[in-house]
Amino acid sequence: MPGKCQADVPVAPDSETTQQSTGSAIDREALVNRHNIVIRGIDPTGALAVGNGEFAFNVDVTGLQSFPEFYEKTMPIGILSDWGWHSFPNPNGYSLDKFKFTSVKKHDREFVYPNASTSNPPPDAAYLRANPHRFGLGRIGLEMTKTDGSKVAIEDLKNTEQKLDLWGGILSSSFEIEGVPVHVLTAVHPQHDEVGVRIESALITSGRLKIRVALRCARKVVRRRDAH
C-alpha cells in the first residue's frame, strides 16, 4: 500500500564514509566531482550557471546567452549580482509606515515582516513588495549564421553536450552547426564579478560566429485588463 512499504536494503559504504569512520581525510574533490552535471540535448528547463556566490551567469545550451527566448517561460537566462538592484519611481511616496508588522519566532531567531495580502495586494503593498528588485545586467551570446546566410536557430544545433565541473567551476559546451564543431568554455572569477569565455571553432575565421552583447534597461510592462 502507498506509504506503507518499507524494506531494509544493505548498502555498501562509499569510500568517503569509510575514510571518515577510520579518521582519514575525505577526498572532497572526488566527492564533489561525482555529482558533475552532464546534459545532452536541448532542454528549456536545463539552463546551467556559473558564479561565485555574489555574481551569477546562467547560460543556455551554447554556454552563453544566445537563445534567451527559448528559456524565457521556464528558466530565464541572464546575469545577476548582489549589487545590481533597481527600483521603479515612487511618485506616491509609498512607505512601510502604515503597515502592521507580524513577528514569528523560529528557534532562537525572530522574523518580522509587514502584514499584507500577497494574492490581491493594494497598490502600495504591491509596489513595496516589488521594489527594490534585482536587475538583470545584460546578456552575452553568440550570433551565428548558416552557409546560406540565414540566422542559426536553436533547432539547428546538433550533437549538443554540456559538462559542468562543480569543483573547478568551469562549464564546457559543445555543439555543431552544419557539421562544424563549436566548443565553448565558460567560467566566473572566484573573487571578482567577471566572466571569462573561450570559444574554438572554424566558424570564427569564416565570419559566421560572432559575440553579441546586449545591455539591459529597466521598463515596466503594463498589461491591459482586456488582454488577459
Fold of 27-85+134-215: Beta-galactosidase; Chain A, domain 5 (2.70.98)
Question: Alpha-carbon dihedral of residues 116, 121, 124, 127, nearest 10 degrees?
Answer: 110
Written as nine digits, the cell of 10 is 544493505
Vertex 8: Cα angle to 5 and 11 (nearest 5): 130
Per-residue pLDDT of the chain (228 residues; tens, 9 = 90+): 444 444 444 445 555 555 555 568 899 999 999 999 999 999 999 999 999 999 999 999 999 999 999 999 998 899 999 999 999 999 999 998 888 888 888 888 998 888 777 778 889 989 998 899 988 899 999 999 999 999 999 999 999 999 999 999 999 999 999 999 999 999 999 999 999 999 999 999 999 999 999 987 766 544 443 333
Distance CA 170, CA 154 (A): 23
Domains in the chain: boundaries:
27-85+134-215, 88-131
